[in-house]
């Protein structure tokens, strides 16, 4: 989840993997004095997939309220269900997770729901390179006509087929933080970082 920020160049993260994300974005991975980078609280997976997800969403909301501008949540239960090779069990877990998405902070942050890889229930493979669904919601995010969260339906949306390296640029753009991508700030007084960052053309 990418939350609002006072400055386009400031990323305060609440996740250990954020070091890699910050490095890719060209942001110092070292905590500066007074910085608010934190590692996520680790919560073990339990038999309650929906409860686990609700707990992670609650922590994400806390971190956003505390001023963090990037929060990463990972839930393993759908992947674990895929490893059973029982499609009914995987469907049940996904339906259970779906019931826990009612408290996503889409009013205050750019929220992305996706998978880090596919774990087919059939055939007998561990993981696959098949596409995974990708949905983004939040303030200012344009809606498209897609109403079902699935691989083929999401591919018909405004993002089409995205490659992994395209994910963070899409999210940062949705959060109005494209300075990370080398773009220039809006050149008018009062725009974030202007005129302190550069002189207009």
Residue-wise pLDDT for 109-126, tens only, equals 999 999 888 888 877 778
Tell whether 188 is covered by a domain: no
Q: How many separate domains does the chain show?
A: 1
Q: Are 180 and 172 in contact (CB under 8 A)?
A: yes
In tens, the pLDDT along 141-174 reads 989 999 998 888 988 999 988 888 889 888 988 8
For the whole model, what pTM was predicted?
0.69
Tell whether 131 is covered by a domain: yes
Tell whether 201 is covered by a domain: no
38 DSSP β-pair partners: 14
Tell whether 65 is covered by a domain: yes
Tell whether 98 is covered by a domain: yes
List the CATH number of the domain containing 115: 3.40.720.10
Tell whether 192 is covered by a domain: no
Q: Are 3 and 14 in contact (CB under 8 A)?
A: no
Domain holding 58, by residue range, is 18-181
């Amino acid at each position: 989840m990418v939350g609002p920020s006072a400055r386009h160049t400031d990323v305060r993260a609440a996740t250990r993997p954020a070091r890699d994300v910050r490095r890719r974005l060209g942001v110092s991975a070292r905590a500066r004095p007074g910085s608010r980078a934190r590692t996520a609280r680790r919560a073990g997976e339990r038999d309650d997939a929906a409860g686990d997800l609700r707990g992670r969403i609650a922590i994400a909301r806390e971190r956003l309220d505390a001023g963090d501008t990037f929060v990463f949540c990972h839930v393993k239960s759908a992947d674990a269900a895929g490893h059973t090779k029982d499609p009914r069990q995987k469907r049940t877990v996904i339906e259970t997770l779906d019931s826990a998405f009612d408290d996503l902070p889409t009013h205050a942050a750019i929220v992305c729901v996706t998978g880090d890889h596919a774990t087919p229930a059939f055939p007998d493979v561990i993981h696959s390179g098949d596409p995974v669904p990708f949905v983004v919601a939040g303030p200012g995010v344009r809606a498209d006509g897609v109403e079902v969260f699935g691989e083929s339906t999401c591919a018909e949306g405004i993002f089409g087929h995205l490659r992994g390296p395209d994910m963070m640029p899409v999210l940062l753009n949705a959060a109005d933080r494209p300075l990370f991508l080398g773009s220039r700030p809006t050149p008018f007084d009062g725009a974030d970082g202007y005129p302190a960052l550069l002189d207009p053309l």
